[in-house]
Structure formats: structure tokens, C-alpha cells
Amino acid sequence: MKTETSIQGLSASLNPARSARKIIGFIPTMGNLHEGHLNLVREARKLCDVVVVSIFVNPIQFGPNEDFDNYPRTLEQDSHLLAEVGCDIVFAPSVEQMYGHHPRLTNIRVGEITNDLCGLQRPGHFDGVAVVVTKLFNIVQPNYAFFGQKDYQQLAVIKQLVRDLNMPIEVIGVPIARAEDGLALSSRNGYLSAEHRQIAPVIYQSLKQAEQDLHAGKALLDVLTEIRMQLTQAGFVVDYVEARTPMLQKSDQFDQDIVLFVAAKIGNTRLIDNLQIKHIL
Amino acid sequence: MKTETSIQGLSASLNPARSARKIIGFIPTMGNLHEGHLNLVREARKLCDVVVVSIFVNPIQFGPNEDFDNYPRTLEQDSHLLAEVGCDIVFAPSVEQMYGHHPRLTNIRVGEITNDLCGLQRPGHFDGVAVVVTKLFNIVQPNYAFFGQKDYQQLAVIKQLVRDLNMPIEVIGVPIARAEDGLALSSRNGYLSAEHRQIAPVIYQSLKQAEQDLHAGKALLDVLTEIRMQLTQAGFVVDYVEARTPMLQKSDQFDQDIVLFVAAKIGNTRLIDNLQIKHIL
């Protein structure tokens, strides 16, 4: 496995593969990798000849009150994990390398679907994601890019961006990796106290209960209220519980496939999760 | 010369060239071609193995009071001209093909340098240009893209966009093509009455006079006032006369290379022109 820290170095590393028309797979990350990220690499490994993972903590997707400076940077440990699952190239550029050479004047906004859910609490966050992903796509020029379904809204934003701008890339969403008790894997789980870690799986349990209830015919709005109650009772402060279509349009009836979204805080840690629910006729 | 009207058809036409690692040159246009456009093709011909010209009247760069519906569409005549100067592929998609398949949520804004000069009179215009150029770049995936220096602000916006988003494309600005009397070639010249066509070269004459005056040591602000006076006397309604650095930063001293910009109306026709002036120590 190679590590490249400059755009030029990465291009030089990728050029032979590109000339040979090999299939390039790409996974953008902010590092501090867990099993969820490694699953993305395993998926990429199946489809692609060359797998590139970027590790870049992107300053422009953090809000002024967010934890850019304290975001965990664990490049050495991440590199060991990536080598084990068969990553070929790690791209770990500096902020200088990505943004430093001249003032950036360009912004990309994917409207409507970034205004609510996580976008409501994090103004500008998805603009920052759209810009960095576009830059990384243009630098790596992959055939496939892999994103976790855990950040479902982010995945939908990137699919929309790729479609709207005719980017020559196929975006693949990979199912959420979960701990045995159902908690969706996340870098943020490391912030949980032992006690809160015990409570955290209630999110997934409430989503699975909702799925059962919906298939049993219970009304969608009642099911959403139920989730909210369960979470509050368990000690969460709920940010949102919502149902959307797969492309994030609002939905208050379970008359097509839907996705249930939860964001809730336990202690100081904000957790998100979602569950795709098939509409069975 | 081939003509393609679908993205899929264009890809199929370009794939053999791409596989053979040939150099692809691209010139986006809105058609109604004149000698200025043909010069771009000639420049592309020198550097590239395959030359693609797109002809697409882009609805989203027209304001609500602008002439999208009446913009001249002369595909047959354009195709003859392009074949003569050695274009390989004309890409002439429908609006449906470029935008029709789903609602577009993505916008691209190149800030600051789009807020004034032509941006002031045409809010949203450069966003529309940035979006369509990004789409076309992703569809054609050229090595080089060629733009005329006549639309200097547009060229600067696209250079900034390419740099900010790390697009793997080199943007080349081609000098303004002029009529013998100095008038910058433009689709809009066709709207001029015989009388106004006589007056129109005053724009270029006033710019050349300004260059002489600056090199003779006259103050920049006086020179700008002089241009404005000459245009007004000749019968123009001046929109702006401004000096900028090559990257469009404001400049009120001639202490570095500058570009003089003019936009002025004669009758109902708005003409623009510019002149790059070297600072000689």
C-alpha cells in the first residue's frame, strides 16, 4: 500500500492504472476509521482493480461551533487497518494541499435536500461536503465511489450532485455496519461513556420496532411519535425523527418505500441512524 | 465531421479516442458562430488530436428579461463552418438532454468576481455558465478547453472554477478576433443597424487610445473618464468602463498589468470589449 500526500504524487501513482484502463474505486473519509469504513473498502475491492482511500479532515464542512481542531486524527492506525483490508493507495493531503494555494471563490450548493434533517443544525455543512467531494473526484477520477448509508442524507446529496453535474462516476451506497447490539458504527461512538454506550442501541431497536409496526398496519405518524417517546424515555434528547422517500422528499404516509431518520443526543454525543423500509403490497 | 445530439452518442464517439489516450480539445458555444469561434477551433486544432465543439443555447444563463427564445439558432450553417475549419465532432444536445430527466438541485456560484462588471446587470448569469460548463466538461472530459478573451470575465470565472474544484482540464484563453476596423466579433454585431455598425469601432479605438495614454504616463482614472467621454460623444450609453487586474481584482493605479473593460449600448445592442495592457517598467 502506498501513501500519497500531494495531488501530484497521487496522479503519478494512478497514471499507470489509468493508462491500462483499470477500474478505480474511491472512498473519501475523514479518517479515524472503524469497521464501517473498512466495509466500504471490502465492497470496493470486489468491484475495482485499484482502491484509493482519502483521509482528509475537511475544514469547510465544520461549522464555527464544531470540533474541527479536536477531530481525531489517527493516520498511523488508519493506515494499518487499510493495508489489512486491501487498500492500494491512501491519499492523505494537508489542508494547504487541498485549499492553500489561492483564495477559493467557488461554492456548490445542493438545494432543498440539504436544508433540513442534519442540514438544519449544520448550515453550510453540505456545501462543504459537496465542494470537497467534487475536488476529490476530480483529483482521483474514479470509476466508482463508495459511501456508507449511515450518512444517508450525505449519500443522497452526493448522488444528486453527480447526476446534476453529469460527473462520470457511479456512486454506490453501502449498508450500515452495526455493532452486535445494533448500534450503527460511527467515529462518534468513541465519545460515549460506558453508561451511554449501553443506552445507545435503543435507536436501532426503536427503528426495528417501527418497521414491524408499519408492516402490521400502524399509521406512519403514530410510529414516528412512538420512536420519539422511546428515545426520550431512554434518556435521549431528540433532534429529529422523520420519514422520507429514498430521494428525501417528505412523506407522511407509508404508501411507498420510505426511510426513517433519527438524530438524537445522549450526553454530549449526537448520534444518527436510519432504516430503509420496503413497502410491501 | 460527426454530429451527436445525445450524451450517450457523444461518449460512444469519443471512447475510441479516449482509449487511445488521444488529446481531446473542447470548445463550448451557443452556436451562431462567427470568425471568433472559428479561431478557437483553429487553436484547438493545433494542440489536440480530436476537437469537439458543443452548440447549446443554455437556458439557465439567460435572465427573465433576456432573449433565450429569440437567440439565433443556426445549426446547419454552423456545421458547415465547423467542418471547414477541421472540427471532428459537433455536440448539439437538446435542453431535455442536458437538464430534462429530473429536477436539478445543484447550483455553482463563483463568488466575488461574478458580482460586478457583467454580473451586476445579469444576476445568476455566471451561475448558469458555471453549471453548464461543469456539465459539459464532465460529459466531454477534454484535456484542453478553449474560450475567447472577448468574454474576459467568463474566462476568468471558468479558470477560477477549474482551479477551485481541481478539474483535470487546462483552460486556454484565445485573443479577441476583430473586424478590420477593430470591432470585436460577436453574435450581437448582427443586431446593429448600418449606422450603428459605423460607430461601433469607437469602443476599440478608445481602448487603444487609453493604452497609448497610459504608456505616456497619464493617470488611470483620467484615462477611464476619457474613454467614457469618447463613447458618450459617439452616441453610446455606457454601462461600465473599468480597470481590473488580470484576475479581476479592482485596480485604480496603473502599477501592474491591467485589463480595461467596456460595456456600452448603441441603440438596443449592448456591446462589450476589453484590452489587456502590459505594465512596462
**Chain A, nearest residue to B19 by Cα:** A21
Question: Is B35 annotated as contributing to ligand binding?
Answer: yes
Identify the domain boundary among B146, B174, B202: B174
Report the CATH number that the domain containing residue B266 is assigned in CATH: 3.30.1300.10
Pairing relation of β-strands B144-148 and B106-110? unpaired
Domain limit, last residue, from A130, A149, A174: A174
Contact B138 A163 (CB under 8 A): no
Q: What is the DSSP letter of B6?
A: S
Residue B96 marked in a binding site = no
pLDDT tens track for B179-188: 999 999 998 8
Contact B111 A107 (CB under 8 A): yes
My answer on whether A147 and A88 are in the same domain is yes
Q: Which residues of chain B have pLDDT under 70?
A: 281
Does the CB of B139 have a partner CB in chain A at under 8 Å? yes
Contact B174, B43 (CB under 8 A): yes
Name beta bridge partners: B243.
B260
For residue B187, the model assigns a pLDDT of 87
Rounded to whole angstroms, the Cα distance separating A264 from B103 reads 31
Give the gyration radius of chain B's Cα atoms: 19
Point out the residues of B that are catalytic: 37
Is the same domain home to A116 and A214? no
Confirm whether A204 is domain-assigned. yes
Is the domain of B48 the same as that of B164?
Answer: yes
Give me the pLDDT at residue A144, please: 98
A180 domain-assigned: no
CA angle B195/B198/B203 to nearest 5° reads 125
* pLDDT mean over A257-267: 97
Contact A46/B at CB under 8 A: no
- The answer to whether residues B61 and B37 belong to one domain is yes
Domain count along chain B: 2
Q: Residue A113 belongs to what domain range?
A: 2-174
Residue B8 inside a domain? The answer is yes
Angle CA A170–A173–A177, to nearest 5: 150
Q: Which residues of B touch A19 (CB under 8 A)?
A: 21
- Together in a domain, A32 and A62: yes
A125 has catalytic annotation: no
B54 annotated ligand binder: no
- A96, A154: one domain: yes
- Residue of A114, A164, A248, A249 to mutate, testing the B interface (most B Cβ within 10 Å of its Cβ): A164
In this structure, the answer to whether residues A197 and A148 fall within a common structural domain is: no
Instruction: Please give the pLDDT value at position A281.
Output: 67
Residue A107 main-chain phi, psi, to 5 deg: -125, 150
Q: Does A21 fall in a domain?
A: yes
d(CA B9, CA B12) in angstroms, rounded, equals 5
Distance between CA atoms of A214 and A211, rounded to whole angstroms? 5
- Tell me, yes or no, whether B82 and B154 share the same domain: yes
Residue A101 above 80 pLDDT?
no
Between residues 4 and 33 of chain A, which touch chain B (CB distance below 8 Å)? 7, 19, 21
DSSP type of residue B42: H
Do A37 and A127 lie in a common domain? yes
Q: Is residue B242 part of a domain?
A: yes
Question: What's the number of CA atoms in the CB half-sphere (13 Å) around residue B249?
Answer: 8
CA–CA distance, A69 with A59 (Å, rounded to integer) = 9
Could you say which DSSP state residue A178 is in? B
Which residues in A lie closer than 8 A to residue B107 (C-beta atoms)?
108-109, 111
How large is the angle between the packed helices A220-234 and A202-215, nearest 10 degrees?
Answer: 160
The answer to whether residues B41 and B90 belong to one domain is yes
Alpha-carbon span B13 to B73, nearest angstrom: 24
* Interface probe with B: pick from A165, A170, A247, A248, most Cβ of B within 10 Å: A165
Catalytic residue among A37, A102, A215, A279: A37
| Separation of alpha carbons B24 and B22, rounded Å | 6
The reply to whether residue B141 touches residue A168, judged by beta carbons under 8 angstroms, is yes
Partner-chain residue, chosen from B109, B138, B167, that has the shortest CB–CB distance to A168: B138
* Residue A193 shares a structural domain with residue A161: no
Residue A50 sits in a domain of what CATH number? 3.40.50.620
Same domain, residue pair A86 and A223: no
Q: Looking at beta carbons, which residues of chain B come within 8 Å of A139?
A: 166, 168
Q: Determine the pLDDT at residue B281.
A: 67
Last residue of a domain, one of B149, B174, B199: B174
Is B280 a member of any domain? no
Instruction: Say whether B58 counts as a known binding-site residue.
Output: no
**CA A32/CA B163 separation, integer angstroms:** 29
Has residue B264 been placed in a domain? yes
Please report whether residue B281 resides in a domain: no
Interface A:B, Cβ pairs < 8 A: 76
